[in-house]
Chain A
Amino acid sequence: MKPKKIVVVGNGMVGYKFCEKLIAKDTGKSFELVVFGEEPRVAYDRVHLSEYFGQKTIEELTMAPLSWYAENNIRIHLSDPVMDIDRDTKTVRSHHGIVESYDYLVLATGSAPFVPPIPGVEKDGVFVYRTIEDLDMMKDHAKKSKRGAVIGGGLLGLEAAKALLDLGIRDTHVIEFAPKLMPRQIDDLGSRILEHKLNELGIQIHLQKNTQDIQGDERIESMLFADGSILEVDMLVISAGIKPRDEVAKMSGLAVGSRGGIVVNDKMETSDPSIFAIGECALVHHMIYGLVAPGYEMADVVVSNLLGGEKEFKPFDMSTKLKLIGVDVASYGDPFITSPNCKTIVYEDTQKGIYKRMNISLDGKELLGGILIGEAEQYNMLLQTVKNKTILPPNPEDLMLGSRGGSEEAGAGVMSLPDDALICSCEAVTKGNICHEVTANGISTLDGIKKCTKAGTGCGGCVPMVKDLINGTLKEQGVYVRNIVCEHFDYTRQELFDLVKINGHKTYNEVLDSLGKGDGCEVCKPAVASILASLWNEMILKKGQDTIQDSNDRYLANIQKGGTYSVVPRIPGGEITPEKLIAIGTVAQKYNLYTKITGGQRIDMFGAHVGDLPDIWEELIEAGFESGHAYGKSLRTVKSCVGSTWCRFGLHDSVSFAIEIEERYRGLRSPHKLKGGVSGCIRECAEAQSKDFGIIATEKGWNLYICGNGGSKPQHAILLASDISSEDCIRYLDRFLMFYIKTAEPLTRTATWLNKLDGGIAYLKSVIVSDSLSIGSLLEKEMQFMVDTYACEWKEVVNNPELRKRFTHFVNVPQQKDPTIQFEGMREQKRAMEWVK
């Protein structure tokens, strides 16, 4: 049967979503799609438009690339709005004169900003806030502007104010006609807290102000208000509401509302049954829905009905949660209902800027709605409580304030929701949908759930809840979660380590062929590479093994922004001669490298082209340096204080001991990086207790601490043994490090490893100090093998022409450097160009 033709007028978020849903559900290919869009680009995420100034590129905001339309056989005409609908012949005519016939017509023309008839709105410097083009124009104008204003204190107006801040306009004003901000979402008290918060962020709020005139010659200079006051501004954004784009519909004789909007019924049908209207142009239940989630639902209604289903658009919940300029604002259910129709609980903290309100039914059993400002973590649970008419607990305020002092976890509540609770309202995904994917299809990651259900891909507000549901469901299944390496190996790292050792495998392909399946991936390749290196200590770039290394190991340097590398020679214990300092300076000067002292007492040289790395290292090795393994999951540095040789407090020579230890474990590949420190006295200048292993001098010997960590979750190292000799210290270190290497999961630091270890530090002490497993001498022997077989990787590369050849950007023009690499100047040195965010 010949497919029926649907013409979609408008390629905004809702128009796109209609196409996406139709393609996904129309498996029998009974429809073909033609799309007309007014804007020059394909549909993008207008909800997150202000991020275009901050973190996101047009590509990231794009809903689907142009190629997606081609792949799905959708013909799309951009920059070409539909001008005319001929309902008799069932054809549309575009601005460029394209005439297209249709079986069904879907109007998704969206809305335009409502511009009040204020004299002077046409002046230079006055903008609306809707499209990327609007933003680009604002961007240009903002460069020469110091003070900006926004007309409109609603949701969009405050978004526009944020955009002005992002554009560097520090002096930003919001003008609102009503006596409060966000009149559709929050109450007077809430507005006052929000005002206060925004003031702190540099946004001045003017309420009950009626703009009468926009003054200036060609360009806006000031605004005159009805009360006679004047505000001088360089730019103005008008965000006073939206008006539905119903012109084409109106001209073709379709019914439209008296205040705009294409009239549709519950099935989104217009007065012509072969024409539908969805999104912000549609007038349904006598109202325009100015949010994206109901628009998506409308698209779904049309798709379902076209495919023979029966679906109606129900009055849509207008609950919203958003982050406005860093302030959480949410309203849910019915936020405005008041006494005597309900009981209200209000919490206000003017110091922290928090306001919360919940409206409860007169019998105290049901939550009807409420408002959250300044802190909205509980939004999802509160919304679910309203929607599912859950019976409230005896102290309902706990729901809004979080449990205080009790042991009950807030996240546990998610699992108690009914299966049909709507978790993601943008994509209409229920709790049941998500849990089903976890139990039936084994999806256990957020990315996985996003892919198969699309939950969390709209506004993103439900993401924390989706995560809780995944974990909660996994726990409920009672499955002992065995942390297998990845889809290619059904073993934990520890099991794999033992198997590789027993079987004597020396290459990745041998390991994969005998123990795994498939072709490997970026998770198991470096994990196996690390195991092979920890077992056999062979050169990691040996033929065939280079491509299983993570990028840094593959090029024996750290990849940095822009694709250049940084070079860190080993400076054991942080001790260096003047001659070697000069050598580093000479090399850095010659290859134009940025230099910086690292946190581990050595010198990092940044901005090296991949092709220069072997030459740089040839010179460094000539000057007596060796690899510092800053690129590897391996020993980095052993930091030291000055010690007893110079320091008047020092008890022992911490520098010599640090050098001895750093040279003992240099090049040792491990599940994650390793850092050490040696301090000459209890003042602890080497900060050894924040390292994977730390040694502190005592009157009688050394105290050995293990499993400390700096980084994002700082953790103090724990005392393993006190007042021990240097020999015992090294023996315990051998055992500790080897035991960690053999048993930790990939990319797990010693601190995390210990936290997860059954029996904790007491067990670890018994293994290392009391040798309760009788593996002490084996661990020492294995470590001694690593020490004896150490060789500097860079020395091997420098002396091996085959390996040197691999260090080039273009294989077909090896002498040419990557022309896209660019630097900028900064404080007499250079830095990498900022990358696209």
Chain B
Amino acid sequence: MGEVKRCLQSKNQAFNFYIDMSNRTTEKPITWHLACQVEDIPSDGGACALIEGEQIAIYNFSRRKEWYATQNLCPHRQQMALSRGMIGSAGEEPKVACPFHKKTFSLKSGECLSGDEFHIRTYPVKIEGDKVFVGM
């Protein structure tokens, strides 16, 4: 269990993406949804996409050549805001900080890193050409 790390060759670039199995109670096969174009997500930042009626925050962590996706809702005050947060790292752990009260969450596990008992859903991301896909 835990995280499965894979590499996907896409054109000449390698992207890491993560499937966090620990979040899933049932191991349903992943369906990949086209979310947006690569250029839609700012470098080292995030943006929100509407996928199957759900608000998904997608992050282009270009410093690390990694992509992540999480729920857009910050569980602390139930605000649709994570995609507008600053991303960064705590040690090696990639994280996002909610713009409202700076609660931080791991982009890998969804765990709240500021000491609260919150948890956010994370989703795998894959890049094909100039398109961004999110697995749900």
**Partner-B contacts on A (CB < 8 A):** 59-60, 62-68, 70-71, 73, 447, 450-451, 487-488, 509, 518-522, 524-526, 544, 546-548, 550-552, 554-555, 559, 561-563, 806, 809-813, 816, 818, 820-821, 835-837
Report the separation of the CA atoms of residues A450 and B117 in the bound assembly, to the nearest whole angstrom.
12
B40-73 with Cβ < 8 A to chain A: 40-51, 55, 58, 61, 63-64
What are 17 A-B interface contacts by the 8 Å CB criterion?
Answer: A65-B119, A66-B25, A67-B25, A70-B22, A509-B63, A518-B89, A519-B61, A519-B87, A519-B94, A521-B90, A547-B46, A547-B87, A559-B84, A559-B100, A811-B48, A812-B51, A820-B55
Q: Indicate whether B85 reaches chain A with its CB closer than 8 angstroms.
A: yes
Report the separation of the CA atoms of residues A18 and B63 in the bound assembly, to the nearest whole angstrom.
42
How far does the Cβ of A526 sit from chain B's closest Cβ, in whole Å?
A: 7
Looking across the interface, which residue of chain A has its beta carbon closest to that of B60?
Answer: A547
A-B contact count (CB 8 A): 127
Known: A64-B117, A487-B90. A547 touches B42 (CB 8 A): yes
Residues on B with beta carbons closer than 8 Å to the beta carbon of A548: 44, 86
Residues on A with beta carbons closer than 8 Å to the beta carbon of B19: none
Report the separation of the CA atoms of residues A487 and B117 in the bound assembly, to the nearest whole angstrom.
24
Tell me whether A65 and B117 are in contact (CB under 8 A): yes
Residue in contact with A811 in the complex, picked from B44, B49, B95, CB distance below 8 Å: B49
Residues on A with beta carbons closer than 8 Å to the beta carbon of B44: 509, 520, 544, 547-548
How far does the Cβ of A557 sit from chain B's closest Cβ, in whole Å?
A: 11
Looking across the interface, which residue of chain B has its beta carbon closest to that of A820?
Answer: B80
Tell me whether A835 and B79 are in contact (CB under 8 A): yes
Report the separation of the CA atoms of residues A20 and B47 in the bound assembly, to the nearest whole angstrom.
36
Tell me whether A812 and B117 are in contact (CB under 8 A): no
Residues on A with beta carbons closer than 8 Å to the beta carbon of B102: 522
Residues on A with beta carbons closer than 8 Å to the beta carbon of B77: 835-837
Which bucket holds chain B's interface residue count?
35 or more
Tell me whether A62 and B23 are in contact (CB under 8 A): no
Report the separation of the CA atoms of residues A518 and B90 in the bound assembly, to the nearest whole angstrom.
8
Report the separation of the CA atoms of residues A404 and B23 in the bound assembly, to the nearest whole angstrom.
56
Interface centre among B58, B89, B116 (most CB of A within 10 A): B89
Tell me whether A809 and B48 are in contact (CB under 8 A): yes
Q: Indicate whether B135 reaches chain A with its CB closer than 8 angstroms.
A: no
Report the separation of the CA atoms of residues A78 and B78 in the bound assembly, to the nearest whole angstrom.
26
Q: Indicate whether B97 reaches chain A with its CB closer than 8 angstroms.
A: yes
Known: A59-B75, A59-B118, A522-B97. A810 touches B50 (CB 8 A): yes
Other contacts beyond A509-B63, A518-B91: 7, CB < 8 A = A67-B119, A544-B44, A548-B86, A563-B79, A811-B47, A818-B55, A836-B77
**Proximity string of chain B (84-111) to chain A, C-beta cutoff 8 Å, 1 when within and 0 when not:** 1111111100110101101010000000
Report the separation of the CA atoms of residues A101 and B48 in the bound assembly, to the nearest whole angstrom.
48
Q: Indicate whether B115 reaches chain A with its CB closer than 8 angstroms.
A: yes
Residues on B with beta carbons closer than 8 Å to the beta carbon of A525: 86, 88
Tell me whether B48 and A450 are in contact (CB under 8 A): no
10 closest A-B pairs by beta carbon, nearest first, are A547-B45, A551-B99, A521-B88, A522-B97, A519-B89, A811-B40, A447-B115, A522-B86, A836-B78, A520-B88
Residues on A with beta carbons closer than 8 Å to the beta carbon of B95: 521
Tell me whether A519 and B43 are in contact (CB under 8 A): no
Residues on B with beta carbons closer than 8 Å to the beta carbon of A820: 55, 80
Residues on A with beta carbons closer than 8 Å to the beta carbon of B58: 811
Looking across the interface, which residue of chain A has its beta carbon closest to that of B61?
Answer: A519
Looking across the interface, which residue of chain A has its beta carbon closest to that of B75?
Answer: A59
How far does the Cβ of B81 sit from chain A's closest Cβ, in whole Å?
A: 6
Report the separation of the CA atoms of residues A821 and B102 in the bound assembly, to the nearest whole angstrom.
20
